[in-house]
Homo-oligomer: A and B are copies of this chain.
Amino acid sequence: MTRFNKITIIGVGLIGGSIGLAIRKRKLAREVVGVFRHESTLKRALRCKAVDKAAISIGSGVKGADLIIVASPVHSIPKIVKMAAECAKEGAIITDAGSTKSWIVNSVEKSLAKFRKIYFVGSHPMAGSEKTGVEAARSDLLNGAPCIVTKTRNTDKKALEKIKKFWSALGSKVSVMTPEEHDKSVSFVSHLPHLVAFSIAGTVPDKYIKYAAEGFGDTTRVASSDPHLWADILLTNKEEVLASAIAFDKTNKKLIRILKEKDAPSLVKLLSKAKAKRDKFVHGASS
């Protein structure tokens, strides 16, 4: 792919930092600039070599950038995109790394309508960790991970192609869909598992945790994620999360009913169906 001259990342935490490291490792830009609110984060990001240069304001950071990536918490993204658009050069492409898309893309498209020749394409690189902060960033975090890029009737085709190529160049498996399709599919494969993991962890009486083994550890790992980030994600994709929670409740209730009835053959059948689906998941197999 064509190298970018300058890529600016706004919000250099786990995801933003990993994107920075990956861009630098794969030499996809002449320079990577990070925008920081706090000096301590700035120092840590430079120490990790997640970015080449640091800026402390969006205005100075995005100046002259070909590509601007907003990797801040979901609720802040529309506002930051607008601020970035105000200072971006003509022809700049802005994307994000938010875990919900309809709310972000709708808000951004409304506020960007007045800007000519500033292009926005929504993205969701689906990698992460229960850890946060630039210290947890890894250049291979996105390698082999799914990345959903959104397309609406307002999306510029050339910008969309560039964004698709960009995430592919980082090793991600790119899919294109509408923000609504994104929110529906991701509610099932990501938001629901998070919601339920928080519920399991919240249910276990404290005194029993010392008897927990790897099964508990894995099933609830994501419940160690940042509560503010996740409240944000669940609230901005509320309708789809609630719909997938209803579907989950139906499956779970059926399983419980069969267990109550001591119906061993039906129980084995239901568990086998679930296992068959889980066995289809192979992360990073094609990477």
A interface residue numbers (CB < 8 A to B): 126-129, 145-146, 148, 173, 175, 185-186, 188-190, 192-225, 227-228, 230-231, 234-235, 238, 241-242, 244-245, 247-252, 255-256, 259-260, 262, 264, 267-268, 270-275, 277-281, 283
Contact = CB atoms under 8 A, between A and B. Distances in A.
Given A127-B214, A189-B211, A200-B248, 6 more contacts: A190-B213, A196-B196, A202-B270, A202-B274, A224-B275, A231-B271
Contacts of A249: 252
A14 to B, nearest CB: 12
Count chain B CB atoms within 10 A of each CB in A175, A211, A221 and give the residue with the most: A211
A262 B279 contact: no
Contacts of A197: 219, 278
Count chain B CB atoms within 10 A of each CB in A186, A202, A209 and give the residue with the most: A202
Count chain B CB atoms within 10 A of each CB in A173, A274, A280 and give the residue with the most: A274
Contact of A126 (B190, B203, B211, B278): B211
A220 to B, nearest CB: 5
A188 B207 CA distance: 11
A251 B215 CA distance: 20
Given A211-B185, A213-B145, A199 B283 contact: no
Contacts of A205: 188
Contacts of A200: 192-193, 196, 248
A278 B188 contact: no
A278 B111 CA distance: 40
Nearest to A193: B219
A262 B277 contact: no
A220 B175 CA distance: 23
B201 A215 contact: no
A145 B215 CA distance: 11
A256 B195 CA distance: 9
A223 to B, nearest CB: 4
